[in-house]
Chain A
Amino acid sequence: MDLEEAKEFKERCTQCAAVSWGLTDEGKYYCTSCHNVTERSKEVINTGAIPNTKIQAINRGLKRKRKLEKGWDWYVCEGFQQILYQQAEALKTLGVGPKLKDEVLHNFWKRYLQKSKQAYCKNPVYTRGRKATVLEDNPSHSDWDSEPDLLSDFSCPSFVESGPDSQLDSRTQKPFPISKASQSASICSGSLDGVKYSQQKEKGIVKMTVPRTLAFCYLSLLWQRETITLSDLLRFVEEGHIPYINAFQHFPEEMKLYGRDKGIFAIESWPAYEDIYKKMIEIAKFLDLPRFPDITEDCYLHPDILCMKYLMEVNLPDEMNDLTYQVVKMTGIGEVDFLTFDPIAKMAKTVKYDIQAVAVIVIVLKLLFLLDDNLEWTLSNIAEKYNEKNKEDKPWFDFRKWYQVMKKSVDEKKQKWEEARAKYVWKSEKPLYHSSIDRAVVYKRREMVVSLQKQFSALTDSAPTVEKKSPSSFQFNWTEGDSAGTCFHGHSLQGILKKKGQSLTTKNSLYWLSTQKFCRSYCKHVTTYEESNFSLSYQFIINLFSFLLRIKASSLHEEVSLIEKRLFKRKYSKTQKKSRSRKRRKY
C-alpha cells in the first residue's frame, strides 16, 4: 500500500491507462484507480542490502521463469498424440474394445509419424531442422531434445513420466536451462516447433490438425468394425463425451501452450460430417492402408442392421424391415465388396453407412406412401377408419398419426438441441494467448468472465439445467405398450400392401425420382436439393433424418438419389422393361 515506493513504476495501466500505482503486500503493483493488479512486482534494486546470496539467486531464477513461462520442451505432434490418447480413452469408456487404442490407433499413429517423417524413420524432420543450433549450443541438452520422446509404447502416462525427469535433469545441470534453440522457439509458441509447424507446407504430407484426430478415431473404429457410426462419433463429440474442443485443457500442466499453438490446437467449431469423412479418406490414402476388414451381414455397419436400428429410432413399424432388406438386396449395397473400405483402390471411397441406411428407409417410405402430399393422407384415412372399427386387432400403421407424434418430439428435441448449443461453453479454463505480452490481459479477461459467470449462475436455479446426458446411440426412446400409444413398432403394414400371386406388393404403384439430373462436372456434387421443389412430407422426412444424423438435408437427398439410381437403373438408361415384381411408373 505504499504509494511512495510505487512511484518509479511509470507504465500505463492496461485496464484504465492511468499511471497511478500502489504496492500490494506481496510487492506487486496495483492500479489505484481500477485496482488492477499487474504481474509486475517491485524489483529489489539494492541487492547489496540483502546479505544472503542464496536469496539473490532464487530471486533471479524465479523471475526468469515467470518471464518465459517455461514448461517442458514438447513438439506439436506430441500434442496431437495427447489428444488422440484422450479420445481413445474416452472411446474405451464408451465401451469400445481395448484393442482399438492399443493396437489399431497406435499403429495408425505410428504409421502416420513414419509417413510424415516425424519419427520411426532414419532421418526425422526434427533432427534435420534443428541439429545445427542444438549441437553448437549444448550436446547433452540435445540428447533428449532432438528426437521427440515418441513413446515406444503408446500409453501416455509413461510419456508423462519420462518428460519431467529429463527436464529436471537438464535444469539441475545448468543454472540457465533455456538453450538458444528452445528460447527462440518458445518466444512465439509453447511447443518447440509450433512456429515451424504452422508455416510448413510440404507437398504430399497430410498435416495433422485437430479435426484429423477424429478422422483417425473413425478409421480405427471402422477397422475394428465397432458399433459406432461416423454420425454417432460426431454427436458424442458435440455432447462432450469425446474430447475435442479444448482438448488441450487436459494436457499435462507443464506442457505450455501459447502463440502459434493457439492456431494449431484451439478449435471453435464442431466437426462436420462431410469434412471428417473427406479427411478420413485422405488420411487412409496417405497412410497407404490395406483393405479394411470385410463388412459382412452380421456387422453393425451393414445396411440391414443399420436400417433396423434407424427404423426403431424413428418409430416406424418393424415390418418395414422386409422392405428395406429387399431394397438393399436389389441395389446391391449390401455386398461385401461394396461396403468394405479399400484405401488402395483406384477410387478410394467409403460408404457413408449411416446416411446410406437412412436413405434406404426414405426410399421405402416413398415406395409405400409415395409422399406426394396426397396419397399418404388417403392411406392414413383408410388406416384410421380400420383402426377405429377393429380395436382388438393389430393396428394398421397410420402415417398421419405417426407424423404428428414424430413432428412433436422432433421439434422438442431440436429446440433443446439448439438451446444446448447456445449454452455451450467454448472457452477453456486455460486461456490461450498469442505472446507473453498479452498473457496478463488474457488471464485477466478470463478471470473477469469467470466472476461474471459466477454472478449470473447465482441468479439461476441452484441445480444446473444442462445435465450431461449419458452417451447413447439412440436419441429417441419408444417403448412398446405405453399408454399414450405413441409407439408404432408393432403396427402392421396391411393396409398398404396387397397380395399379388404369392408375394406382397405395395398398393401404391407409383413412384417419383428424387432427381433425374446428376451433376457430371467436377464439382463433386451429386445433385442439388432445393427444398421447396419437393412435397412437404418428403421435406419432413428428410429433415427428420438429417437432424438425427446431424447432417445437411442436401447430403441425405443426394444419397437417396444415388440409391434410386441403382434401384431404377433401367429407368435411367431408358429401357422399357420393368423387372421388378412391383410395378412402378414414373410419377
Chain B
Amino acid sequence: MSDFSEELIESKTEDDQEESYVFSGTGMSFPWLQNHIGTIATGGKKEKDFAQTTSACLSFIQEALLKHQWQQAAEYMHSYLQILEDSDSHKRQAAPEIIWKLGSEILFYHPKSNMETFNTFADRMKNIGVMNYLKVRFHINLYPVFHIEVKKPERNLFHSRNARYSEKANSHIVFLNFFRLFLGILQFLFFSKAPLELTLTDEDDYAYNAASQSMLNHSCKTSVNLGALIQTPGVWDPFVKSYVEMLEFYGDRDGAREVLTNYAYDEKFPSNPNAHVYLYNFLKREKAPREKLISVLKILYQIVPSHKLMLEFHSLLRKSEKEDHRKLGLEVLFGVLDFAGCTKNITAWKYLAKYLRQILMGNHLAWVQEEWNSRKNWWPDFHFSSFWAKNDWKEDKTLACEKALVAGILLGKGCRYFRFISKQDDEVLRKKIKRIKKSVENHSIVNPGL
C-alpha cells in the first residue's frame, strides 16, 4: 500500500489526459455539455429537488433492472410513482409510459409477482392513461407465455378488443396486425400442444370428444385471426406455414390451397419466393399434375434462378413432352451453374452432362449453342480453369469427371480442364475417363476441324 500516493497521482494525470482529449478530439462528443444543456432547458432556473430526486430514482431503477435486482427496483419504483403527481404536466404525461415499461419489466421478473399482480397493474395502467392500451393487453398475454402457463390467454385478448378501444386500435393498424399475429401464434401454440394431449387420451373417451371439440373451436378462432392477417399484404411466411398446417390437419385442403395461391399470386403482396415454394410443396403433397407444378416453379425460376428446387424443376421439364419445356430444362441447368454457390453441385453437373448428351443426340445443337454463346466468354475461367481442374480432382473425383465431360463437350478436347482430367491416371476411374473421352469425341459442339 506504500505506493498509494502514486496511484493517486497517476489517476490525476490520467484525468488530465482525458480532459485534454475532450478538447483536442475531433469527434463531436462533448459529455460535459450535457450538464449545461440541462440547465438551459429549465430556463436557467434551478431544478427543483423533486425533479432531481425523481430522475435519480429513475436511474436507480434502470441500474437495478440492468443488474436484475428486481427487489431494489420495486423499492425505487415505489418512490418513482410520485412522478404521476408532478406539477410539470409534460413530465406527468410522459410518466405513464415509463412507469408501464419499468413496472411491467419488474413484475415480469420479480419472484413474488404472479399473473394476478401483473393483471392488476395492467388494469391500473389503463386508468392512468397509457397511450395504447392494446399494447398493455399484449404484454399481459406475454406473461403466461413466458412463464409457461398457457391456459387460455386468448380469452383476455378477446375481451380487450371490445368497442371502446377499437377506435384507438384502428389508428395503429400496424400494431393491430401485430396483435392479430400474436393472437394467431398463441392459438397455434395451443394447437400444437393439443394433438399431444389427444394422443394421450383414449379415443373412445368422452374427454377425447371434448378435447377435439375444443380444438375445433380453436382452429375456428385461429382461422379468423390468421386469415385476417394474411389478407394484408406482407411477408407472413411462418404464419402462413402454420396456418396451412392447421388447415391441413383439419382436412381443409381447398382452404389451404386458396390461402397459398393467394399468398403466391396476389399482386399486392411483395414478390416472395417462399410463397411459391410453399405452394409447390403443397401441390406436390397433393400430387398435382406436372403441368401445374411446372407453372409454379416457372415463377420461382424467374425470381430465384439458383434455388435448390431448380434441379427438381429441371427433372420435371426433362420428362415433359413439350419441346419448349425441354429447352427450358437446359436453360434452367445453365442458370443454376451460373451461380458461384452452385459450382460444386455435383447433381447439377451430372444433370448437365447427361442432358447435354441427350439433347445433342436429339439434334438440338442450336439450343446448346444459344445458351453457350452468352457464357463462352466467362465460363472457361469460371468453371474450367486448370486451377479448378486440380482442385476438383483433389477434392471430388466424380465431380471432376462430370465437369470434364461438360468441358469437353462445350470447349472441345483442347480445353485445359478436360486435358488435365484425361491425363490423370486413376485405376478406379480409368474406364470412366475413357468413356468420357469417347463421348466428348462424339458430341463436342466445337467443330473438330477448327
Contacts and interface: CB of A to CB of B under 8 A. Distances in A.
A532 B82 contact: no
A460 B8 contact: no
Contacts of A460: 71, 74-75, 78
Interface stretch (A121-129, A279-287, A416-424, A513-521): A416-424
Interface string B103-130: 1001100101100010011001011110
Interface stretch (B48-56, B219-227, B243-251, B381-389): B48-56
B12 interface: yes
Contacts of A424: 53, 79
B12 A33 contact: no
B87 A268 contact: yes
A423 B121 contact: no
A377 B49 contact: no
A107 interface: no
A451 B53 contact: no
Contacts, number: 122
A448 interface: yes
Given A268-B48, A422-B53, A377 B5 contact: yes
B197 interface: no
29 contacts: A34-B126, A268-B87, A269-B48, A270-B49, A377-B5, A380-B5, A384-B2, A400-B1, A419-B60, A421-B56, A422-B53, A422-B57, A423-B57, A423-B75, A448-B84, A449-B85, A452-B103, A455-B121, A456-B103, A457-B75, A459-B70, A459-B106, A459-B113, A460-B71, A460-B74, A460-B75, A460-B78, A536-B8, A537-B8
Given A33-B164, A452-B84, 8 more contacts: A377-B4, A422-B76, A422-B79, A448-B84, A452-B81, A456-B77, A536-B8, A536-B12
A132 B364 CA distance: 119
A425 B82 contact: yes
Given A381-B2, A448-B84, A423 B78 contact: yes
B258 interface: no
A21 B121 CA distance: 24
Contacts of B85: 427, 431, 442, 445-446, 449
Contacts of B110: 459
Interface in B19-54: 19, 46, 48-51, 53
A15 interface: yes
A400 B5 contact: yes
Interface string A32-49: 011010000000000000
B56 A422 contact: yes
Interface in A173-187: none
A456 B79 CA distance: 10
Interface string A85-100: 0000000000000000
B8 A373 contact: yes
A269 B128 contact: no
B83 to A, nearest CB: 9
B41 to A, nearest CB: 17
Contacts of B75: 423, 456-457, 460, 465
Given A423-B76, A425-B79, A374 B5 contact: yes
B275 to A, nearest CB: 42
Interface in B324-349: none
B79 A423 contact: yes
B9 interface: yes
Interface residues of A, number: 48
Interface in A418-476: 418-419, 421-427, 431, 442, 445-446, 448-449, 451-453, 455-461, 465
Given A33-B164, A423-B57, A452 B74 contact: no
Nearest to B117: A455
B440 to A, nearest CB: 81
B426 interface: no
Contacts of A269: 46, 48-50
A453 B78 contact: yes
Contacts of A456: 74-75, 77-78, 81, 103, 106
A3 interface: no
A18 B87 CA distance: 26
B443 to A, nearest CB: 81
Nearest to B50: A268
Nearest to A378: B5
B94 to A, nearest CB: 15
Contacts of A400: 1, 4-5
A426 B4 contact: no
A424 B19 CA distance: 35
A55 interface: no
A426 B53 contact: yes
A36 B60 CA distance: 33
A419 B417 CA distance: 77
Contacts of B1: 400, 404
A328 to B, nearest CB: 30
A431 B87 CA distance: 11
A16 interface: yes
B84 A449 contact: yes
Contacts of B129: 15
Interface string B1-16: 1101100110110010
Nearest to B74: A459
Nearest to B12: A536
Nearest to A377: B5
Given A373-B5, A419-B60, A449 B87 contact: no
A453 B81 CA distance: 7
Given A400-B1, A532-B15, A459 B71 contact: yes
B4 A422 contact: no
A33 B167 CA distance: 14
Contacts of A380: 5
B56 A426 contact: no
A459 B53 CA distance: 22
Nearest to B71: A460
A384 B81 CA distance: 52
Contact of B127 (A15, A376, A465): A15
Interface in A366-417: 373-374, 376-377, 380-381, 384, 400, 404
Contacts of A33: 164
B53 A421 contact: yes
Contacts of A418: 56
Contacts of B71: 459-461
